[in-house]
Amino acid sequence: MEVGFLGLGIMGKAMSINLLRHGFKVTVWNRTLSKCDELVEHGASIGETPAAVVKKCKYTIAMLSDPSAAQSVVFDKDGVLEQISSGKGYIDMSTVDAETASKISEAIKAKGGDFLEAPVSGSKKPAEDGQLVILAAGDKALYDEILPAFDVLGKKSFYLGEVGNGAKMKLVVNMIMGSMMNAFSEGLTLAERSGLNPGTLLDVLDLGAISNGMFKLKGPTMLKNSYSPAFPLKHQQKDMRLALALGDENAVSMPVAAAANEAFKKARSLGLGDLDFSAVHETLKALDHST
Ligand SMILES: NC(=O)C1=CN([C@@H]2O[C@H](COP(=O)(O)OP(=O)(O)OC[C@H]3O[C@@H](n4cnc5c(N)ncnc54)[C@H](OP(=O)(O)O)[C@@H]3O)[C@@H](O)[C@H]2O)C=CC1
Ligand SMILES: O=CC(=O)O
Residue 170 appears among annotated catalytic residues: yes
- Please give the distance, rounded to the nearest whole angstrom, from the Cα atom of residue 79 to the centre of ligand 2: 27
Ligand 2: residue of 123, 153, 215 to mutate (most ligand atoms within 8 A of CB) is: 123
Instruction: Say if CB 72 and CB 62 are below 8 A apart.
Output: no
Q: Worst-scoring range by mean pLDDT, 208-212, 221-225, 281-285?
A: 281-285
Q: What's the CA gap between 99 and 105, in Å, rounded?
A: 10
Instruction: Say if CB 144 and CB 59 are below 8 A apart.
Output: no
Residues 25-35 have pLDDT tens digits of: 999 999 999 99
- Please give the distance, rounded to the nearest whole angstrom, from the Cα atom of residue 213 to the centre of ligand 2: 12
pLDDT score of 289 more than 80: no
Instruction: Say if CB 272 and CB 189 are below 8 A apart.
Output: no
Q: What's the CA gap between 182 and 187, in Å, rounded?
A: 9
Please work out whether the CB of residue 178 comes within 6 Å of at least one atom of ligand 1.
Answer: no
* pTM to 2 decimal places: 0.97
User: In sequence order, what are the residues at sequence separation of 6 or more whose Cβ sits closer than 8 angstroms to the Cβ of residue 131?
Assistant: 122, 125, 154, 155
Instruction: Say if CB 139 and CB 165 are below 8 A apart.
Output: no
Instruction: Say if CB 260 and CB 233 are below 8 A apart.
Output: no
- Please give the distance, rounded to the nearest whole angstrom, from the Cα atom of residue 229 to the centre of ligand 1: 12
Residues 85-129 have pLDDT tens digits of: 999 999 999 999 999 999 999 999 999 999 999 999 999 999 999
